[in-house]
Structure 1
Amino acid sequence: MSERTGAAPIPRPVPANPDPRRWKALAVLCTAYFMIIVDSQIVILALPSIEAELSFGTNGSQWVMSAYLLSFGGLLLFGGRTADLLGGRRMFMVGTALFLVASVVCGLAWSGAVLVAARVVQGVAAAVMAPTAMAVLMNTFAEGKERNRAIGVWTGIGAFGATAALLIGGTITEGLGWEWIFFINVPLAGAVLVLGPRLLRETPVAAGRRSYDPFGAITVTGALVLLAYAVVEAPVVGWGSLSTLGLLAGALVLFAVFLVIERVSKAPLVPLRVFRVRTLVGGNAMTLLVSMAIYGGALMMSVYAQQVLGWSPVLFGLSTAVYAAMSVVGSNLTGPLVTRFGYRRVAVFGATVLSAGALLLTRVSPEGNYWTELLPAMIVFGYGIGTTVVAAAIAALSGVAPNESGLASGINNSIFQVGAAFGIAMCTTVAVAFTGTGHADGRVGLNAGVQAAFGAAFVFAACCLAVALVLLALRDGRPAGQATGVAP
């Protein structure tokens, strides 16, 4: 995730003698990664409480999630670059300290603007922590069985964190208050800051002149923010309004500037040549779509359970246990399935299951029955998440040269976070647009909006399946003789 993004990567040899502290180091890194991923979703169940206390509207409160996801996703590649230029362990510790401070400010936030601003800072810190942690991991474990096992643990922690947030978020919100979904980061980040210097190895630093690409990072992040804001506000101000059209035009201009910067930069954030690899493009397209389906669907599950059915955050959190468990099962079984059948077939299978789960969610009703409506959908949707995310990631990484695997990993992680932000924005937009207002029972109108939003999640999953089918039909795009060690 954090290999050099320039043309000539610096080799990172791992010492011949295994570090006796390597598994303890992995535990520290995974603790930080779990915290990062949980914070991307844990606010879902707290949004009603945050809206009530800080006077947010539905459209405004979703920025508590999107602000974090956009700054995280938009700056992941830049954060990885800091590992090569300043040292992975050093920047990991800096990012963790910043994350701790931002979490405290989030919990103490006295207004919506302060909370959103603090979430932006939290996302910046996460964008430094995640790729630098991977750089340390790669430098701690020698290539082969142990490194594969470590990466497997890391990936499983991420998959579990993305769903476990729903399990613990409700209990914390109802028992202690929404502020504590941020305060729980303090002991975790504190433990990482204490143990990190003792257990983590520093990564090699690139020799010679240090070159950054801050303008690339600024332009692509700005473009993503404008695009997401346009999508979220369009139902309120109108898709054809000057405001919406201006925001979309601004996003397109910034994207164009980003492409020009990357083409002429001596040390580009994203060398454009990597997009000639078909599997990288296909895998990342799948990642974008599956992330949109996951986060958009999860947000709507919370809205449906709490605002249509009237469930408490704790009850809904407990009801998602099977959802989290099936995601972990799916991610853990994907490795053996890929070994036997190849990532292409597994990607098609996973996207099919994901689409079926999203389709089941569109059947929710205002009266709602957990056992016949939500539970079956959560089981199928959760398993589809675990399978599809891992298969898409393998596809995105399998077609690149070994010395560019870090760059490919950074792109894939960034795409996932950006997709999460867009999924939330799109599903919120659809829900607002289709919510009926002419019903005596407000729950009926809200349920119509939720159903439409689940329909949008199904469209994302179905498009993901279409990409997987195209990927299955394509030959590898890598040069002849370039081995990846992954069955296609």
Structure 2
Amino acid sequence: MVILDGTIVNVALPSIQESLGFSPSNLGWVVNAYLIPFGGLLLLSGRFGDLFGRKRVFTTGLVVFTLASLLCGLAQNSAMLLVSRFIQGAGGAVTSSVTLAMVVTMFTEPKERAKAIGVYSFVQSAGGTLGLLLGGVLTQTISWHWIFFVNVPIGAVAVFMAQRNLRAEEGAGKGKSTDALGAVLITAALMLAVYTIVEAADYGFGSAHTLGFGLGTLVLLALFVVRQAKAADPLLPPRMFKFRNVSGALGTHTLMISGMFSFQFLAVLYMQKVLGFDQVQTGFGVVPVSLLIGLMSLFVAPRLIAKVGPRPVLLVALVLISGGLALLGQISADGAYLTDVFPATVPLGIGFGLAMPSLAGLAMSGATPQDSGLASGMFNTMQQVGASLGLAVLSTLAASHTSTLLGDGTGRADALTEGYQLAFRVGACFVLGALVVAATVLRNPPRPGAAPAPRPAATQPSETDTASA
């Protein structure tokens, strides 16, 4: 539900603009008002899950998200919709931040955990595609209001099921103080970072606006680092960055999502603006990717990971994803879905379906149970940062190249296509960068049944980060 809402709005933007009177320059804030609090609060919410109990944090986020969805659907003006979207993004962050941590703590047996992470990865990946499809159907058949109203009954059932079935646990925060200053600094820094990235597409990466806010982000991050070194109970313990698999998985995840997001965003634009697809056709156009992601993450990835470990599976997956994006770099203005888009969906779907369970497992294998909520929040934060970075960089490249070609007299369809080609190729380079990080930094965790290595002190890297591949 939360992931679905990140994309369900995209296909409804023209209808929302017409209904509520958004200007073209302000319409993007319907998306950004959700992205900024979502990206900014993931880390803080994940830590709160460790300190105060993940079930409590999870259900609180669900309630906030569901009520905000109702407010979004009832919005009668642009201001009400933007405020409601901000609250909705905050609720989504609180819910998402602890989900992966709950999965790895509920399923402790390696094979069952691999299957559970596969389901989690499928939901994460397929939610965006389902959002595109459902958004088109609801907008065309009823109205844009229902892309938000649909969350209300789903959210109510989810809250009931969570209260009934999730095991309540005592958080680790008893007797500990909350690092309030650190919380304010990191939340402000992450929100400002997401804002800077998403606005860079309009202002330009070298503009005074982007550079100024980027500098502000770096200052806040520096203050946060200083605060964490001095705090008695830091929000983000420095030991987290000594876990090799945690830091390596975060870097790999960010680069991979930055590249993969070019498919989710630019392939949709290519199908609509060049191939002439309507909203529903576009939604169905990305269904093959979701089907392959589901097949791989639910059935294939857990078995492969159990046999050879997550690292080799991830490396193969990244090669497939970069190859799929390279294929999209060959699209043509007079092409067709079956010849230009569909062939790329095969390696993209297989690769992403294998990559997400592998990455999630590697990231969580490096964290202690007491830090699993924080690791989960960090993992999801990097996904959001990667998506925002990919959107800003790749859409800016595509738009700039298209504008240059139009100025030279190139036809609109050809100019758009060449802009998308460039962005897909750069996206493939992002994924190749992820491949380099994964190959040089990540290590397979110990195989089940292997003799356990001595447990290091809390401030030292765990055995999962020093084990050989």
- Scaled by the length of structure 2, the TM-score of the pair is 0.86
Deviation at 1:376, TM superposition (A): 0.6
Task: Give the structure 1 partner of residue 48 of structure 2.
Answer: 82
Deviation at 1:235, TM superposition (A): 5.4
Q: Deviations over 1:353-377 (max 9, x none)?
A: 0000111112222223101100011
CA contact (8 A) 2:333 2:417 kept: yes
Task: Give the structure 2 partner of residue 159 of structure 1.
Answer: 125
CA contact (8 A) 1:136 1:201 kept: no
- Distance in 1 between residues matched to 2:197 and 2:55, nearest whole Å: 38
Task: Give the structure 2 partner of residue 324 of structure 1.
Answer: 290
2:179 paired with 1:209: no
Deviation at 1:432, TM superposition (A): 2.4
Task: Report the more deviating stretch, 353-362 or 63-72.
Answer: 63-72
Deviation at 1:136, TM superposition (A): 5.5
Amino acid at match of 2:425: G
1:373 to 336, 340, 344: 340
CA contact (8 A) 2:443 2:464 kept: no
Q: Deviations over 1:87-144 (max 9, x none)?
A: 4333333221211121122223344444333222112112222344556656666656
2:427 to 453, 457, 461: 457
Q: Describe how 1:322-471 pairs up with structure 2 within 5 A.
A: 322-332=288-298, 333-436=300-403, 437-438=406-407, 439=409, 441-471=411-441
RMSD (CA atoms): 3.0
CA contact (8 A) 1:62 1:424 kept: no
Q: Deviations over 1:32-56 (max 9, x none)?
A: xxx1121122223223433444455
Please give the secondary structure, in 2, of the residue aligned with 1:435: helix
Task: Give the structure 2 partner of residue 17 of structure 1.
Answer: none
Task: Report the more deviating stretch, 72-81 or 362-371.
Answer: 72-81
Amino acid at match of 1:433: S
Amino acid at match of 1:294: M
- Distance in 1 between residues matched to 2:453 and 2:55, nearest whole Å: 36
Q: Describe how 1:3-402 pairs up with structure 2 within 5 A.
A: 35-54=1-20, 56=22, 60-133=26-99, 149-206=115-172, 208-234=174-200, 236-332=202-298, 333-402=300-369
- Distance in 1 between residues matched to 2:442 and 2:160, nearest whole Å: 47
- Scaled by the length of structure 1, the TM-score of the pair is 0.83
CA contact (8 A) 1:351 1:468 kept: no
- Distance in 2 between residues matched to 1:450 and 1:58, nearest whole Å: 21
TM-aligned CA distance change 1:278 to 1:59, over 3 Å: farther
TM-aligned CA distance change 1:445 to 1:327, over 3 Å: same
- Distance in 2 between residues matched to 1:323 and 1:474, nearest whole Å: 27
2:454 paired with 1:481: yes
Amino acid at match of 1:468: A
- Distance in 1 between residues matched to 2:432 and 2:106, nearest whole Å: 39
Please give the secondary structure, in 1, of the residue aligned with 2:9: helix
- Distance in 1 between residues matched to 2:52 and 2:242, nearest whole Å: 30
CA contact (8 A) 2:185 2:224 kept: yes
CA contact (8 A) 2:311 2:444 kept: no
- Distance in 2 between residues matched to 1:136 and 1:112, nearest whole Å: 36
Q: Deviations over 1:1-42 (max 9, x none)?
A: xxxxxxxxxxxxxxxxxxxxxxxxxxxxxxxxxx11211222
- Distance in 2 between residues matched to 1:37 and 1:231, nearest whole Å: 20
Task: Give the structure 1 partner of residue 459 of structure 2.
Answer: none
Task: Report the more deviating stretch, 202-211 or 429-438.
Answer: 202-211
Task: Report the more deviating stretch, 183-192 or 53-62.
Answer: 53-62
CA contact (8 A) 1:233 1:244 kept: yes
Structure 1: state its 5+ residue gaps. 1-34
Q: Deviations over 1:161-204 (max 9, x none)?
A: 23332332322222223222211101101212334333333221
CA contact (8 A) 2:256 2:430 kept: yes
Please give the secondary structure, in 2, of the residue aligned with 1:375: helix
Structure 2: state its 5+ residue gaps. 447-451, 456-462
Amino acid at match of 1:456: V
